Chains A and B, each alone.
Chain A
Amino acid sequence: AQTVTQSQPEMSVQEAETVTLSCTYDTSESDYYLFWYKQPPSRQMILVIRQEAYKQQNATENRFSVNFQKAAKSFSLKISDSQLGDAAMYFCAYRGGATNKLIFGTGTLLAVQP
């Protein structure tokens, strides 16, 4: 069965600095999708960024980018120029190629210090 591991329960970053959140996954599939979701205190889950495994190019969305290392099964999220509004729980998620089901990691709580 596929698993998603986020080994950093909490992280902290200074405003305007850069932070990287780690995520590793275990799968025997070659075709899959990876996601990062943000959950602020409002509890609403917001899609931050997605990556298709067959694409070598790392996805980027404004200040958010990923470092996708397929061989290492690693999918880290980099937040540049951190803002106070980035403070939230961040979840990494995996979707296999043959299913619509997303499997989530346990999350990383990011604090942004002014």
Chain B
Amino acid sequence: NAGVMQNPRHLVRRRGQEARLRCSPMKGHSHVYWYRQLPEEGLKFMVYLQKENIIDESGMPKERFSAEFPKEGPSILRIQQVVRGDSAAYFCASSERDSSNGYTFGSGTRLTVV
């Protein structure tokens, strides 16, 4: 039973380019969460999605960032016109309808903006 799959593991983008991070939730999980981890910091919540719905995007920057979780396919976190400050590890997690048992995390995507 594959866990949460994130790809790519590492992503290098030049300033101004777009970054697309992908996340396939664990089988049977219908809820996806994206977190950002800056160096020497904890995980900051970004967005929480169900299939075709954004449930909570209170942690998403107002500009350049968007997320989707289509009916078919993985969840995508998209960062347009990346800047150096976007360099971080981005983690995806998934849960059942009720997350009281906690999340299952992916291995993260480390984004480096040069």
Contact = CB atoms under 8 A, between A and B. Distances in A.
B98 A91 contact: no
B45 A45 contact: no
B69 interface: no
A105 B103 contact: no
B95 to A, nearest CB: 6
A66 B87 CA distance: 34
A91 B42 contact: yes
Interface in A29-53: 33, 35, 37, 42-47, 50, 52
Contact of A42 (B98, B102, B107): B107
- Closest 7 pairs between A and B when the two form their complex, measured CB to CB: A45-B105, A100-B99, A106-B42, A104-B43, A104-B42, A47-B102, A107-B42
B77 to A, nearest CB: 16
Interface string B71-105: 00000000000000000010101010011111111
Interface of A: 6, 33, 35, 37, 42-47, 50, 52, 91, 93, 95, 99-107
B42 A50 contact: no
B99 A102 contact: yes
Interface of B: 31, 33, 35, 41-45, 48, 55-56, 89, 91, 93, 95, 98-105, 107-108, 110
Contacts of A6: 42
A45 B100 CA distance: 17
A104 B91 CA distance: 13
Given A100-B31, A101-B48, 13 more contacts: A33-B100, A37-B105, A44-B105, A44-B108, A45-B103, A95-B100, A101-B56, A101-B99, A102-B33, A102-B45, A102-B99, A104-B35, A107-B42
